[in-house]
Amino acid sequence: MWGLRFSGLVLQVFLAIGILGCSDSSDLPNQAACGTETTGVTSNGGPEQFGVPVTPAVYLINFLFLYIANPGDAANMPAYTAPLPTELVACLRQTPTGCPWEEYKRYFDLDGTGGSSPTPSRCECEWQPNCQLPDFQELAPRRYQVPGQINRPLGMARAAEMARLLGVDDSMILSDGEYQCVIGTEPRTNDQEIIFECVADLTDSIGNADIPLSSYGLDISPDGLLRSNCAPEAPCLEFNALLAGPLEKIMAECGAEEKFLALVTRTPFLEFGAFGNECQSDSKPACIVEAQCSRAPNADRPY
């Protein structure tokens, strides 16, 4: 009876888990309507394109799952979001499964220098209605202001603060043994491999990945294709297939079912799932959404 209840909750809310460019001139890398840190160009506002994994509800539902699994993993999620280069957006619209990293890496500021950058000034983005999360918007990552913020990880202090504000307590967190059981060790089962790879794709921040892309909601496939975390055939999209029963079985076998149920019932997990599922569904197949962004020079916060 409890197992049926658990499956119902999982099927209801987990559809959103694991997923989780506007340019005035195509020759300006990473050009953004709100302000281009690599060129010093700014404007009063306009649409920018983002990967679905960094939208508020999808980001926060992924954060909750990762935090109860392993707080260290959640701490490696991105502290800031970054709009996608227009050139990559055009390619992913045509080829959602991915575009060659070697051809598109020049549009990314991997060393964090950004060239000429304007005076820091907060850039506010308004998500399309089905990607908003009004009651928890302050906990979602903001668009970066200076290049050094791109792909910066949350860090343990900020992750712990967010978890507390979202209703997580220590009793919900998996033990080291439970966590290791869930993600497995080599040779992993197919289901464990999907979970393991999805966690890696959601946490590819500076210091935790050879090529950090977390602020964009992107990863690089084994074939060298740059893609959204929720692209067709990506591990985090395949994770959804585990929700029909395998994930429940894994949690039960690892002794973590009670903790997972507490997460679902004692945090805004269901609310995030409802918003995130809508946002992700409407973004298929490229898993890219638009936000209207503009500068807010008189407002600032450290996150």
pLDDT digits (tens, 9 = 90+) for 221-263: 999 999 999 999 999 988 877 766 788 789 899 999 999 899 9
pLDDT confidence of residue 198: 94
| Tens-place pLDDT, residues 277-301 | 888 888 889 999 998 888 765 545 5
What is the pLDDT at residue 197?
Answer: 96
pLDDT confidence tier of residue 183, bands split at 50, 70 and 90: very high
Question: Is the pTM above the cut of 0.85?
Answer: no
The confidence score (pLDDT) of residue 296 equals 66
Residues 83-128 have pLDDT tens digits of 999 999 999 999 999 999 999 999 997 665 543 333 345 678 888 8
Residue holding tokens 């500021």? 109
pLDDT for the residue 52: 93
Q: What is the structure's pLDDT at 43?
A: 39
In the structure, what pLDDT confidence band is assigned to residue 169 with cuts at 50, 70 and 90? very high
Q: How far apart are the C-alpha atoms of 65 and 105, rounded to whole Å?
A: 30
Contact partners, residue 119, CB within 8 Å, separation at least 6: none
Query: What is the arithmetic mean of pLDDT over 18-35?
Result: 36
Separation of CA 197 from chain center: 14
Whether residue 47 has pLDDT greater than 80 = yes
Tally the residues of the chain: 303
| Three-state secondary-structure class, residue 294 | strand
Q: What pLDDT was estimated at residue 49?
A: 93
* Interior/surface letters 108-137, b for 16+ CB within 10 angstroms, e for the rest: bbeeeebeebeeebebebebeebbbbeebe
